[in-house]
């Protein structure tokens, strides 16, 4: 097996603009960043020059914010050029955004003006969509809610993160006051969050810029060029200063150019690799007793690690002993090592355990609770706000369904069954596993409302479609799950046609109910979150300044004082093996993040008619597959027509799929992924799914795909 692979990615790698001009600091003082946060200077050649700045003098430019579901939460400059086209770039005055944004923002602009965008309410009548006025649409919703309100748990609210912000919490408050059912668990990072809670007692991390104080960095599973371009730029800067970077991943992720060393791991076995590294620590006698004092169960955990069979661990994760030694040295050599943990490695059955064992490596090497060390993962986006105003009224219990198995949960719900579903900010039918079960579940529900801007896989299942305003078309205040800046996201564009914000829709609806459900006015929804111990800014000041930095320490768990009641760390109590692939399905299906669009927010005319997948050139799947012929990705749930490409560096047991494309347009990997839960947190265990590739006729396959591109439609009456 090849070692230290450099994973140059052929599946559309992002180029990160590292050589940025140092931006002017904001007119307000956001607080010092540790180290020299300048992103100036030459880079290694993987960078691209700074994008041309929007000409501030040629037209009016506003400071806005990206509210997409992205950790970077950029501050943006938005303007229109002389031709009236929207121009967006990263704000050079923002210390973290540093003047650049990613490719996804370009796709977002396409969505703003897409001819496929629906800007009028639509009602399904006799199997066809018909235009309907807002008045009639809201009266119909009020009538349905009046009918189902006798048993409010028969109404299910599903809210996603299509756009983030504090005002979005008003939607949750509305349905909580109604007593409607809600969802729990997550389609993203729930297992990792729970792992941090179990280890540290909370979900804190060092300030991202503190990574410039690290001597070495371990990027454990993060796709730098697609998941967070500003983290990638920061790491480029750290490397220019002499920091070395090790990447551990199944490959195929474009991390090679950012890394000094890459180690390829069998997907899903990160905890076993971490255990092998911990054995190395023990063998070298490098576990410090002063560190063990900060943990509640240190001796028990070391016993657990010691009794593992070293050769068995290496064989299971397919990493040779010499690479295990290199990883151990990376953590133990002089100077501090920071660890970045990707979201992907928690999407397995044992996702939480994967994260906990990596954290144990950081902890036992003395790299937690100090500047230059730290374990970086997503943090709660709204952690810096006071959200007391949006909490469920005390004393009211609500039904809660697990989102990763939502189809099964809806079908099983009794006393009362689900009779109405309201979906906003989510393409749940496309994004959650087991597409067909969700469709069956939706078909059994009497009345479905979907608030969106496009006829997505979810909207196709609705009875009433309500057109949504997008980011930049509504005001909000937003945080980040990566950095500690809080942004004002002003309305800088008028929503087209009759598109409206979630807040407006629910305020109007609430007034039509009996008894009514009033929402606080928007300014109250903005002011209340700012009354937080981490913020010292009024709404007026935030509107004026655009962003402020929350008061958070640069170092999390300083002095190894953790957030459990006794202040001590908790190691995991068990280590589980990773089972082999099931008979007939030898390839692990990894549905990884895209670089060019946010999740399923892909303009309808940007979907490939047949989705591409990638396998390693040495994959056994290629022995019996003709890639020049029709190819199918097959699981016990069904099959999906694909085109097969080779990707050097990818683990040979993997099929890589870029997630988010719609089933109605020929994609939709969740058609062939079974629903299941991670070991912690109620996360979606997408990567438990094994598949095979085969050349079969469409007739004999289980899935018929609609591969036609849609004609541009407007429902404007
Ligand atoms: S998607 Fe992320 S990187 Fe791109 S503009 Fe938005 S916040 Fe910035």
Supply the residue whose CA is at minimum distance from atom 6 of ligand 1: 66
- What is the CA angle 329-333-336, rounded to 5? 115
Q: What distance in angstroms lies between residue 102's CA and the mean position of ligand 1's atoms?
A: 5
SS3 readout for 533-554 = CCCCCCHHHHHHHCEEECCCCC
Supply the residue whose CA is at minimum distance from atom 5 of ligand 1: 101
Whether residue 39 is predicted with pLDDT greater than 80 in this model: the reply is no
Is there a single domain that holds both residue 396 and residue 364? no
Could you identify the atom of ligand 1 that is nearest to the CA of residue 66?
A: 6
Supply the residue whose CA is at minimum distance from atom 4 of ligand 1: 102
Supply the residue whose CA is at minimum distance from atom 8 of ligand 1: 74
Q: What distance in angstroms lies between residue 479's CA and the mean position of ligand 1's atoms?
A: 13
Is there a single domain that holds both residue 290 and residue 216? yes
Q: What distance in angstroms lies between residue 164's CA and the mean position of ligand 1's atoms?
A: 12
Q: What distance in angstroms lies between residue 471's CA and the mean position of ligand 1's atoms?
A: 12
Q: What distance in angstroms lies between residue 580's CA and the mean position of ligand 1's atoms?
A: 37
Is there a single domain that holds both residue 229 and residue 168? no
pLDDT given for residue 206 in this prediction: 97
Whether residue 15 is predicted with pLDDT greater than 50 in this model: the reply is no
Cα dihedral across residues 687, 690, 694, 697: positive or negative: negative
Residue 7 maps to a domain: no
The predicted model gives 87-100 an average pLDDT of 96
Whether residue 46 is predicted with pLDDT greater than 60 in this model: the reply is no
Residue 435 maps to a domain: yes
Q: State pTM to two decimals.
A: 0.90
Whether residue 89 is predicted with pLDDT greater than 70 in this model: the reply is yes
Is there a single domain that holds both residue 601 and residue 694? yes
CATH number, residue 296: 3.40.228.10
Q: What distance in angstroms lies between residue 456's CA and the mean position of ligand 1's atoms?
A: 22
Q: Which of 46-60, 272-286, 509-523 has the lowest mean pLDDT?
A: 46-60
pLDDT given for residue 81 in this prediction: 84
Q: Cα 164 to chain center, whole Å?
A: 12
Q: Which of 105-119, 356-370, 386-400, 442-456 has the lowest mean pLDDT?
A: 386-400
Q: Which residues contact 308 (CB under 8 A, 6 or more apart)?
A: 275, 276, 279, 575
Other beta carbons within 10 angstroms of residue 58's beta carbon come to: 12
The predicted model gives 17-43 an average pLDDT of 30
Of 476, 192, 212, the closest CA to residue 343 belongs to 192
Is there a single domain that holds both residue 344 and residue 332? yes
Is there a single domain that holds both residue 236 and residue 368? yes
Residue 505 maps to a domain: yes
pLDDT, averaged across the chain: 89
Q: What distance in angstroms lies between residue 72's CA and the mean position of ligand 1's atoms?
A: 6
pLDDT given for residue 5 in this prediction: 34
The predicted model gives 45-73 an average pLDDT of 67
For residue 338 the two structure tokens come to 């920071």
Could you identify the atom of ligand 1 that is nearest to the CA of residue 97?
A: 8
Choose one of 68, 78, 98 to mutate for the ligand 1 pocket test, by most ligand atoms within 8 angstroms of C-beta: 68
- Residues in contact with ligand 1 by the CB-under-6-Å rule are 66, 68, 70, 72-74, 101-102, 104-105, 229, 598
Could you identify the atom of ligand 1 that is nearest to the CA of residue 228?
A: 3
Q: What is the pLDDT of residues 412-445, one digit of tens each?
A: 999 999 999 999 999 999 999 999 999 999 999 9
Tell which phi-psi region holds residue 676, choosing left (phi > 0), alpha (psi between -120 and 50) or beta. Answer: beta
Is there a single domain that holds both residue 317 and residue 448? no
Tell me the percentage of the chain whose pLDDT exceeds 90: 84
- b/e per residue 287-298 (b: at least 16 CB within 10 A): beeebbebbebb
Residue 176 maps to a domain: yes
Other beta carbons within 10 angstroms of residue 65's beta carbon come to: 29
Could you identify the atom of ligand 1 that is nearest to the CA of residue 70?
A: 2
The predicted model gives 273-302 an average pLDDT of 96
CATH number, residue 650: 2.40.40.20
Whether residue 184 is predicted with pLDDT greater than 50 in this model: the reply is yes
Is there a single domain that holds both residue 281 and residue 210? yes
Choose one of 98, 105, 111, 234 to mutate for the ligand 1 pocket test, by most ligand atoms within 8 angstroms of C-beta: 105
Q: What is the pLDDT of residues 563-612, one digit of tens each?
A: 999 999 999 999 999 999 999 999 999 999 999 999 999 999 999 989 99
Q: Name the residue range of residue 406's domain.
A: 122-187+388-469+497-516
Is there a single domain that holds both residue 625 and residue 690? yes
Whether residue 645 is predicted with pLDDT greater than 80 in this model: the reply is yes
Asked if 633 and 642 touch (Cβ cutoff 8 Å), the reply is yes
Whether residue 241 is predicted with pLDDT greater than 70 in this model: the reply is yes
Q: Which residues contact 84 (CB under 8 A, 6 or more apart)?
A: none
For residue 717 the two structure tokens come to 């009456």
Whether residue 29 is predicted with pLDDT greater than 70 in this model: the reply is no
Structural domain count, the chain: 3
The sheet that has 485-489: what strands, in order across it? 476-478, 485-489, 547-549
Whether residue 40 is predicted with pLDDT greater than 50 in this model: the reply is no
Whether residue 699 is predicted with pLDDT greater than 80 in this model: the reply is no
Choose one of 101, 226, 595 to mutate for the ligand 1 pocket test, by most ligand atoms within 8 angstroms of C-beta: 101
Q: What distance in angstroms lies between residue 247's CA and the mean position of ligand 1's atoms?
A: 23
The predicted model gives 37-43 an average pLDDT of 28
Is there a single domain that holds both residue 340 and residue 208? yes
Residue 405 maps to a domain: yes
Is there a single domain that holds both residue 170 and residue 221? no
pLDDT band at 288 (very low <50, low <70, confident <90, very high): confident
Is there a single domain that holds both residue 137 and residue 237? no
pLDDT given for residue 60 in this prediction: 74
The predicted model gives 649-668 an average pLDDT of 97
pLDDT given for residue 717 in this prediction: 28
Supply the residue whose CA is at minimum distance from atom 7 of ligand 1: 73
Q: What distance in angstroms lies between residue 136's CA and the mean position of ligand 1's atoms?
A: 37
Q: What distance in angstroms lies between residue 51's CA and the mean position of ligand 1's atoms?
A: 15
Q: What distance in angstroms lies between residue 221's CA and the mean position of ligand 1's atoms?
A: 20
Residue 90 maps to a domain: no
| Bond before 515 cis per omega within 30 degrees | yes
Residue 545 CA: distances (Å) to CA of 14, 99, 110:
31, 17, 28
Residue 408, class by beta-carbon neighbours within 10 Å (0-12 exposed, 13-18 middle, 19+ buried)?
middle
Residue where the block lists tokens 């729990």:
184
Supply the residue whose CA is at minimum distance from atom 3 of ligand 1: 102
Report which DSSP code applies to 580: P
Q: Which of 196-200, 305-309, 429-433, 713-717 has the lowest mean pLDDT?
A: 713-717
Asked if 610 and 641 touch (Cβ cutoff 8 Å), the reply is yes
pLDDT given for residue 396 in this prediction: 75
Whether residue 697 is predicted with pLDDT greater than 60 in this model: the reply is no
The predicted model gives 250-269 an average pLDDT of 94
Alpha carbons within 13 A on the beta-carbon side of 388:
7
Looking at 178-303, which runs of residues are DSSP E strands?
Answer: 182-184, 216-220, 244-249, 261-264
Residue 47 maps to a domain: no
Residue 308 maps to a domain: yes
Could you identify the atom of ligand 1 that is nearest to the CA of residue 101?
A: 5
């Amino acid at each position: 097996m090849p070692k230290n692979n450099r994973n140059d990615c052929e599946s559309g790698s992002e180029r990160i603009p590292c050589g940025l001009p140092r931006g002017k600091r904001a007119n307000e003082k956001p607080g010092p960043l540790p180290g020299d946060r300048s992103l100036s200077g030459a880079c290694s050649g993987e960078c691209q020059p700074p994008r041309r700045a929007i000409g501030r003098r040629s037209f009016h430019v506003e400071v806005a914010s990206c509210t997409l579901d992205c950790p970077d939460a950029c501050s943006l400059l938005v303007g229109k050029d002389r031709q009236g086209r929207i121009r967006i770039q990263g704000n050079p005055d923002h210390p973290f955004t540093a003047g650049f944004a990613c490719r996804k923002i370009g796709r977002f602009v396409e969505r703003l003006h897409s001819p496929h965008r629906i800007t009028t309410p639509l009602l399904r009548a006799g199997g066809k969509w018909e235009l309907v006025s807002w008045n009639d649409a809201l009266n119909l919703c009020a009538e349905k809610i009046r009918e189902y309100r006798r048993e409010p748990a028969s109404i299910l609210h599903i809210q996603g993160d299509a756009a983030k912000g504090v005002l979005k919490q008003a939607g949750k408050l509305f349905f909580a006051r109604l007593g409607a059912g809600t969802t729990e668990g997550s389609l993203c990072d729930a297992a990792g969050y729970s792992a941090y809670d179990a280890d540290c007692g909370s979900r804190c991390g060092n300030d991202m810029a503190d990574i410039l104080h690290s001597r070495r960095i371990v990027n454990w599973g993060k796709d730098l060029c697609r998941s967070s371009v500003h983290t990638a730029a920061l790491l480029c800067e750290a490397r220019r200063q002499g920091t070395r970077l090790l990447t551990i991943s199944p490959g195929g992720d474009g991390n090679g150019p950012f890394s000094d060393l890459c180690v390829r791991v069998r997907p899903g076995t990160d905890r076993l690799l971490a255990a092998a590294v911990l054995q190395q620590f023990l063998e070298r006698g490098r576990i410090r007793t002063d560190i063990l004092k900060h943990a509640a169960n240190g001796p028990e955990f070391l016993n657990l690690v010691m009794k593992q069979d070293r050769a068995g661990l290496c064989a299971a994760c397919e990493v040779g002993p010499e690479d295990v030694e290199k990883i151990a040295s990376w953590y133990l050599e002089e100077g501090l090592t920071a660890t970045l943990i990707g979201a992907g490695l928690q999407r397995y059955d044992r996702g939480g355990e994967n994260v906990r064992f990596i954290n144990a490596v950081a902890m036992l090497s003395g790299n937690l609770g100090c500047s230059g060390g730290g374990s970086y993962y997503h943090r709660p986006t709204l952690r810096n706000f006071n959200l007391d105003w949006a909490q469920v009224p005390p004393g009211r219990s609500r039904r809660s369904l697990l989102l990763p198995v939502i189809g099964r949960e809806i079908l099983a719900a009794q006393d009362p069954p689900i009779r109405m579903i309201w979906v906003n900010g989510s393409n749940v039918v496309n994004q959650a596993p087991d597409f067909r079960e969700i469709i069956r579940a939706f078909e059994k529900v009497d009345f479905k409302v979907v608030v969106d801007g496009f006829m997505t896989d979810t909207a196709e299942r609705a009875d009433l479609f309500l057109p949504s305003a997008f980011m930049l078309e509504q005001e909000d205040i937003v945080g980040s799950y990566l950095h500690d800046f809080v942004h004002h996201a002003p309305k800088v564009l008028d929503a087209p046609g009759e598109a409206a914000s979630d807040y407006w829709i629910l305020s109007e609806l609430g007034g039509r109910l009996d008894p009514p459900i009033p929402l606080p006015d928007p300014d109250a929804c903005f002011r209340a979150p700012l009354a937080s111990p981490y913020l010292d800014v009024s709404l007026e000041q935030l509107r004026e300044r655009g962003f402020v930095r929350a008061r958070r320490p640069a170092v999390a768990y300083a002095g190894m004082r953790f957030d459990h009641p006794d202040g001590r760390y908790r190691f995991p109590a068990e280590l589980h093996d990773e089972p082999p692939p099931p008979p007939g399905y030898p390839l692990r299906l990894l549905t990884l993040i895209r670089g060019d669009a946010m999740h399923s927010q892909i303009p309808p005319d940007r979907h490939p008619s047949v989705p591409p997948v990638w396998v390693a050139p040495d994959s056994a799947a290629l022995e019996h597959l003709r890639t020049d012929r029709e190819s199918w990705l097959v699981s016990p749930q069904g099959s999906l027509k694909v085109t097969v490409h080779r990707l050097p560096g990818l683990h040979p047991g993997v099929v890589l799929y870029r997630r988010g494309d719609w089933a109605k347009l020929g994609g939709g990997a969740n058609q062939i992924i079974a629903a299941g839960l991670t070991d912690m947190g109620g996360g979606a265990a997408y990567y438990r799914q094994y598949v095979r590739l085969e050349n079969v006729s469409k007739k004999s396959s289980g899935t018929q795909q609609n591969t036609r591109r849609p004609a541009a439609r407007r429902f404007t009456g």
